[in-house]
Amino acid sequence: MKNQRVFTRLAITLLLLLSAISSFGAGSHALAQAADCATGAGGASPEASPTGGGGASPVAGAGVNMAFVPKDVVNNYFANSFKGAQEAAGETGGQVQQVGPDTPDAAGQVQFIQTLTQQGVQAIGVSANDPNALAPALKDARAKGIKVVSYDSDVAPDARDVFVNQANSEDIGRIEVQIISRLIGCEGEIAILSAASTATNQNAWIDFMKAKLASEPKFAKMELVQVAYGEESEQVNQQQALALAQAFPDLKGIIVPAGIGLPAAARALEQAKLIDKIKLTGLAPATFMTKYIKAGQAEDIWWNVQDLGYLTYYAAQAYAQCKLTGKEGETFEAGRLGKYTVGTDGEVVLGPAVIVTPANVDSFKF
């Protein structure tokens, strides 16, 4: 009986040991990847999957296993961006998935990031609802060898490897002020209807807008009366647009740097018969704004959204394959988009924003 008890204890100990080894193995590929980059080894061991599954260090030139965590998975903006990531993964033999909350929620994003970290993906692409709330989970992912690339809306810089920006933030702020000033004749009250107070990208644009308004004499007769927030909701944006019109009867223009917000504000002002009195500009899918642009009631700034996801995937792949370290001036190839350069603070800019006008609006697919 005594020998049987000893045998049973030994068997249980062995099973626990095997389980621990198995659990360690699930995440060890990503750790090995980090070590490879640190030693300059690059590629994978001979048995590593060429598609980069399970966090394995990729074979040189092969695609990586990447997950995208957008602000929410319902927004068509992120659905179209993800199409570009799928295109890039298809070109390189990689794997890509998109997961996230149904509504813009930083806490929801954190849960998905933690799950992906446990799964051992090679790279995570994230558009932040809150730059700081996501930081601890992303730092944990990086500590386990996972590459983190922010896109669209940045996270805290020390929580990611690179930020893929859709356009230069200063240019976006400057162009939006120039457009609204032209639409209202450089005189009168204007407001800004942003997405959320924690939105990194929009806060950066707004800062540049304010600086532009304050620094140039030609804008001296324009007054920014309020910054409101639509909370990434069509209904809230409509309510806020009408609230601004009611609170400021002399309001002449609204800048709406939010893909959902701009068309929602346009519809609300149209229904209230204020669309010809209050001019609009901002950022939104061009196809959502076509009739307002053609009627001269609004102008838009936009870019190829699919290219944003495409570039984000290639940037993550370059980091995961140890072809980039984040140093300013480094370059990498991004498939059909060509060569890109890492700028200050690890920023990679997709390209210049395009002003959508009646002359070119029909050329946009989204």
pLDDT in tens, the chain (366 residues): 444 444 444 443 443 343 333 333 334 334 434 444 654 333 332 222 222 333 333 344 578 999 999 999 999 999 999 999 999 999 999 999 999 999 999 999 999 999 999 999 999 999 999 999 999 999 999 999 999 999 999 999 999 999 999 999 999 999 999 999 999 999 999 999 999 899 888 999 999 999 999 999 999 999 999 999 999 899 999 999 999 999 999 999 999 998 899 999 999 999 999 999 999 999 999 999 999 999 999 999 999 999 999 999 999 999 999 999 888 999 999 999 999 999 999 999 999 888 999 999 999 888
Question: Nearest-CA neighbor of 292 among 322, 256, 343?
Answer: 256
Topology agreement, domain 64-167+305-351 and domain 169-302: yes
Instruction: Report the C-alpha gap between 266 and 193 in whole angstroms.
Output: 12
pLDDT value at position 58? 39
Q: H or E stretch including 15?
A: helix 2-39
Q: For 233, phi and psi rounded to 5 degrees?
A: -125, 130
User: How do the domains of the chain map onto residue ranges?
Assistant: 64-167+305-351, 169-302
pLDDT value at position 37? 60
CB 189 within 8 A of CB 219: no
pLDDT value at position 232? 87
Q: Does 3.40.50.2300 match the CATH number of domain 64-167+305-351?
A: yes
Q: How far is CA 150 from the centre of its chain?
A: 6
In the sheet that holds 162-165, the strands lie side by side as 95-98, 65-69, 123-126, 147-151, 162-165, 347-349
Paired residues of 164 in beta bridges: 151, 348
Q: Does 3.40.50.2300 match the CATH number of domain 169-302?
A: yes
Question: Nearest-CA neighbor of 139 among 111, 115, 161?
Answer: 161
pLDDT value at position 62? 73
CB 274 within 8 A of CB 245: yes
pLDDT value at position 125? 98
Tokens of 288: 């959502």
* DSSP structural state of residue 105: -
Question: Nearest-CA neighbor of 66 among 102, 90, 34?
Answer: 90
Q: H or E stretch including 22?
A: helix 2-39
Question: Nearest-CA neighbor of 310 among 345, 361, 348, 355?
Answer: 348
Instruction: Report the C-alpha gap between 142 and 116 in whole angstroms.
Output: 12
Instruction: Report the C-alpha gap between 225 and 35 in whole angstroms.
Output: 53
